Amino acid sequence: MAKEPWFKFYAADYLLDPAVDALPLEAQGVLLRIWCNCHIDGWCSKERAEIARKSRLSVEVISNHWSVLAPFFEERDGRLYSARMESEKRKSEIARQNGKKRGQQLSSANCSADSFADCSAQSQSQSQSQIQSQNLDPPLSQEQGFDRSLQKKEYSQSDFDQRDLRRYTNERKRVELKLSHGSRYEQTDEQIFEYICSEAGLSPKHMREVFARIEQEFHAAQCHG
């Protein structure tokens, strides 16, 4: 039994396929019915009477067109399988597994990034509390009358990564809210990741590098903690 109640049907591929185009219109209708049965059960009987029963057609109709329909199927263990549908099924399974792996890697990176961001925020909050409790101000220049507005902060790679992480996280929340309302269609986790990056104005390659650096910092902080 098929896992899904539907199967992929590429209209352009079907209409432009020379083998399909060579079929009489009645044979094309029979082919579509047999494909539907193959999808529902995962295979079709090679017995024409059973094919006719499943397709709700007469044995005569099946027999009249079988010589031109047979090349669309391959026989294994006494059963018929649609060569085209089997090929698409294998491609979909490979894509699904690859998407699942990428999704797991992305989820792991996101979790590490979120955890690191929480730890970073907590550390900054503690540092600020200590400064306030000690009633200390940031160090000033030794020169009298130094304009503090002229001080230039030197930003580290971590500062830029945290900035991009915030942009990505904010956009991810917006996209996840959209997906929760049924707007996912058939997008893979990788496609969703690339869409989030695009909406946040960040490249997927850059964000993967950001996640890798943040994960390294997070593990280093855990080791020293």
**Rounded to 5 degrees, what angle do the CA atoms 106, 110, 111 make?**
120
pTM: 0.43
Which pLDDT score is estimated for 126?
56
Segments of the chain scoring below 50 in pLDDT: 131, 135-138, 140-144, 146, 184
The pair of structure tokens assigned to 127 is: 């540092």
- For the chain, the first-to-last Cα distance in angstroms comes to 53
Which pLDDT score is estimated for 149?
53
Q: Which residues contact 51 (CB under 8 A, 6 or more apart)?
A: 34, 37, 44, 45, 62
User: What is the rounded CA–CA span in Å between residue 217 and residue 17?
Assistant: 54
Q: Which residues contact 202 (CB under 8 A, 6 or more apart)?
A: 164, 167, 168
User: What is the rounded CA–CA span in Å between residue 33 and residue 57?
Assistant: 9
Q: Strand 44-45 vs strand 73-76: parallel, antiparallel, or unpaired?
A: unpaired
Q: Strand 73-76 vs strand 79-82: parallel, antiparallel, or unpaired?
A: antiparallel
Which pLDDT score is estimated for 143?
44
User: What is the rounded CA–CA span in Å between residue 150 and residue 177?
Assistant: 42
Q: What is the DSSP letter of 23?
A: S
What is the maximum span of the chain, computed from C-alpha positions, in angstroms? 105
Which pLDDT score is estimated for 104?
67
Task: Give the rounded percent of residues in the chain with a pLDDT score beyond 90.
Answer: 27
Domain boundaries of the chain, sorted by first residue = 11-77, 94-121+155-224
B/e letters for 186-195, b = 16+ CB within 10 Å, e = fewer, are eebbbebbee
